[in-house]
Amino acid sequence: MLDSFTAVFGNDSGMQEEATPDIDVETLQQEEEDEEQETPWRVILFDDDIHTFDEVINQLIKALGCTEAHAEKLTLKVHNEGKARVFEGSFEECFQVNGTLKEIQLITEIKG
């Protein structure tokens, strides 16, 4: 196991040592995880010609736990613009919302 220094060149009579930077791998991994958690993840819903307005509205209510009025507003935005952000949150939350929307084969995407 290496300490915070490594032996570099030298002979039996005069071995030199060179310090290496202390890098805490766990700290770097934690910083990366913190950045991922701070990143706003979004669920994008795309328009399609298969589902009715009522199907999309009902599935949005189920996925988001929102009001019918809010689901209608999102559905109209998707219809008029071709796509819309319907949810923003942690990756885990987006994954769950996305899964519920996909239950009826809605076209979605998770972006981070």
Residue located via tokens 């998707």: 78
- Give the pLDDT of the chain (112 residues) as one tens digit per residue: 444 444 444 455 555 555 555 656 665 566 656 655 567 999 999 999 999 999 999 999 999 999 999 999 999 999 999 999 999 999 999 999 999 999 999 999 999 9
> What is Dmax (Cα atoms) for the chain?
84
